[in-house]
Structure 1
Amino acid sequence: MTASKKITVIGGTGYAGSAIAREAIKRGHQVTSVSRSVPAEPIPDVTYVASGVEGAGASIADADVIVGAFSPRGANKGALVKVYADLAKQAADAGARLVLVGGFSCLRRTAGAPRMLEGESFPAEVPAEVVAEAMENLDVLNNLLADTTGVDWLFVSPAMEFSAWQPGEDLGRYRIGDDVALFDENGKSAISGIDYARAVLDEIESPTRHRAQIGVAY
């Protein structure tokens, strides 16, 4: 049986963050969710802290694992790089593992190819704010790749179809790859929130990679 861990989820009320918090509680971990507000329907047994990231110090200092599921939208636009740089330093100081919800377009099409954001253009119909978020995610990843704090980080990129608007099904399975995007036999790249959360919790409980990017898809 895996020992219970203290897990702090930054952005624990969003799509990815809430799925991770729910799965962690189900597995017997102690979970603190830090977000600007408490959800109308809180997950039982999760401790909610209504705070901006800058006020999450105590929750982070006591954690074994810090999960970053921060959404750089609205008032938080443009804040992702600084938020995660600060979290990396705090995690390193606390001896905690840092697991970040990454972006699909930070992956590569093939081994050795540029990351999608570096070598491809977004279709014209993709909203500008989505492009901006993707670029922030890439900046975060590049900072981690150049990290000198020694923090034990993991950047977990979901499949292309992964959002509250494409929730997917609970299939109870997933595949993990490195920094090359995974597609199924029909050329589809998708993962549901719950199966993504399972991949994250499995990696938290039994780490297979350190200071690395991985991708999760069916």
Structure 2
Amino acid sequence: MGGIVVFGAGGRAGRAVTAEARTRGLTVTAVVREPTRYPDLGARGVTVVRGDVLDAGSVAGVAAGHVGAVHAVSPASGPDDGVDAVDPGFFVQAADALLDGLGTAGVARLVAVGLGANLLGTDGRMVLDDPVAFPSALRPFALAHTAGLDRLRERGDGPVDWVMLTPAGFLEHGGPRTGRYRVGGERVPGGAGESGERSDGDGAGRPWLSYADLAVAVVDEIEAPVRHRARVSVFNVRDGKR
């Protein structure tokens, strides 16, 4: 199998995907906005390049020759990282540029990392619409991310076969790589009907996912695609607290 291109390789998800891909023998083109800010990204089998996920020409240029692409770009990661200043159209622009650029480059597979805030809760509302469960300060960012998902769905009949994997529950930085995960649907996991694929535990407890296992799911969907033009949730379940 050939190499993959990871947009947003300098973030937590991008780094985890890069590491997982390398353990499987895949070469990685790690795309960031400014390579000099990430001197630690370069490694055997990893080429760090400058790219702009909002520009279809840039996407096509860095993606050409790869078997799959990963969208792990986020302009902000939390309240202290300028999340309130995020362009509401950022993720829509990124979706358009990726679909257009990858299509031009002949890269037919895109795996995007989603946001749990737009999964549905037990009341049928998106988590971001629950003022008790979701901080109001993060709502604009969550709405921007949701608009990007909507754009992927709107353009679902194009040449690029995409899937969005949405971490459900607590996403743990530095958590273990178990190599297992569950796959759910549009709802926050915990109810009946969730898939037992790669299950961990008996379904009791609270949902969580390590970045390492998110990366396992992402690379799985590049190496052996199972889900097409859809958004799914990915998670593990454990009892008690760490």
Q: Normalised by the size of structure 1, how large is the TM-score?
A: 0.84
SS of residue in 2 equivalent to 1:154: strand
Q: CA distance change for structure 1 residues 51 and 150 in 2, over 3 Å: closer, same or farther?
A: closer
CA shift at 1:96, angstroms?
1.9
SS of residue in 2 equivalent to 1:155: strand
Amino acid at match of 1:12: A
Question: Does the CA contact (< 8 Å) of 2:20 and 2:215 recur in 1?
Answer: yes
CA shift at 1:141, angstroms?
1.1
1:36 correspondence with 2:33: yes
1:123 correspondence with 2:132: yes
Q: CA distance change for structure 1 residues 204 and 124 in 2, over 3 Å: closer, same or farther?
A: closer
CA shift at 1:14, angstroms?
0.3
Question: Does the CA contact (< 8 Å) of 1:10 and 1:17 recur in 2?
Answer: yes
CA offsets per residue over residues 72-96 of structure 1, 9 Å max, x none? 2259822222012110122233242
Listed as ranges, the gaps of 5+ residues in structure 2 are 77-81, 191-202, 237-242
Q: Tell me which residue corresponds to 2:182.
A: 175
CA shift at 1:56, angstroms?
4.0
Alignment of 1:1-218 (within 5 A): 4-38=1-35, 39-44=38-43, 45-53=45-53, 54=55, 55-73=58-76, 74=82, 77-78=86-87, 79-93=90-104, 94-109=106-121, 113-117=124-128, 120-123=129-132, 126=135, 128=137, 130-147=138-155, 148-162=157-171, 164=173, 167-183=174-190, 184-186=203-205, 188-218=206-236
SS of residue in 1 equivalent to 2:20: helix
Range with greater deviation from structure 2 (143-152 or 194-203): 143-152
Q: Distance in 1 between matches of 2:131 and 2:164?
A: 22
Q: CA distance change for structure 1 residues 124 and 51 in 2, over 3 Å: closer, same or farther?
A: same
Question: Does the CA contact (< 8 Å) of 1:12 and 1:34 recur in 2?
Answer: yes
Q: CA distance change for structure 1 residues 52 and 150 in 2, over 3 Å: closer, same or farther?
A: closer
Q: Distance in 2 between matches of 1:66 and 1:175?
A: 22
Tell me which structure has the larger Cα radius of gyration: 2
CA shift at 1:202, angstroms?
1.2
Amino acid at match of 2:181: Y
Amino acid at match of 2:18: A
Question: Does the CA contact (< 8 Å) of 1:22 and 1:43 recur in 2?
Answer: no
Question: Does the CA contact (< 8 Å) of 2:94 and 2:148 recur in 1?
Answer: no
SS of residue in 1 equivalent to 2:145: helix
Q: Distance in 2 between matches of 1:212 and 1:125?
A: 24
CA offsets per residue over residues 43-101 of structure 1, 9 Å max, x none? 52211013333334311232221110011225982222201211012223324211111
Q: Normalised by the size of structure 2, how large is the TM-score?
A: 0.77
SS of residue in 2 equivalent to 1:190: strand
CA shift at 1:198, angstroms?
0.5
Q: Distance in 2 between matches of 1:169 and 1:179?
A: 25
